Structure 1
Amino acid sequence: MTVRSFSWGWRLRQVPVTPQAAVAWGDVARRLHARLLLLPTEQASRLQATANRDVLVVAGAAADLPWIDGVAYAAMDAQAPHLWLPTRWEPDRPTDLLAHALAEKFQRTPLLLWRDPPTVVPLDRQLPVSATHLQRIEYLWAGR
């Protein structure tokens, strides 16, 4: 979902926040997916994932999140718990008001508000990382 009807800018955070989700786009998403398939079952069971054709979002404790080259990170906003943001960037508007406006527009929460590409990703359909869920994501990407 692209964001075009709201107006705000982004600024670097003074202090990056602790990651609560790995966010990967395009080819990086496919590499993250492949990495998830290799995780020990115990670690994978502590993670949740959701995807669309462009992005894969994997949520969990920072220590459990897989790292691969090119992945970015997000976290729940302290002022607006239904809004997730990049760990290094924040909107230049009050996030509680922005979260309320986005929730009304998209009629879903929580939402990941991403800077580049400028997108809103619903996070309300995250499921535990499992072989079955990862296979569903692979089918989605294959257009099945």
Structure 2
Amino acid sequence: MYKIYVVHGPNLNMLGVRETDVYGCLSLEEINGKITILAQELECKVSFFQSNHEGEMIDTIHDAANHYDGIIINPAAYTHTSVAIRDAIASITLPVVEVHLSNTHARESFRHHSYCAAVCIGRIEGFGAHSYLLALRGLCDFLQDKK
């Protein structure tokens, strides 16, 4: 049974309230619920973490290497600004999938660049909450193929 850590970045605690035309109407709790249901179907275990603080996210990524088989991360705005989160991902040997609810390339130009993408095994965006589900399927398949 694979153990997957889902790491949510800043402002994702405001999902369902914040810019619903961009991020959808589901709350973070509802998205986590959908991920949990799929994880049960895929026979893997998921745990969740959300923070609005860069340092907490970095500590969590470092610690995950000791307890999990892979990470799904939505760095949110830190995607476009944080070399530190990029370096935290690069410092561990776990496979990491970057996720975004919206299509960042269809938005403001500053959102087009991801510092994290180059150190992740893949990136899924633009499918709303389904982006997380696609990432979970992909990560589980990746781990299975790696065996």
TM-score for the superposition, normalised by structure 1: 0.25
TM-score for the superposition, normalised by structure 2: 0.24
Task: Determine which structure has the larger helix proportion and give its number.
Answer: 2
Higher RCO (C-alpha under 8 Å, 6+ residues apart):
1
Task: Determine which structure has the larger strand proportion and give its number.
Answer: 1
Higher gyration radius (CA): 1
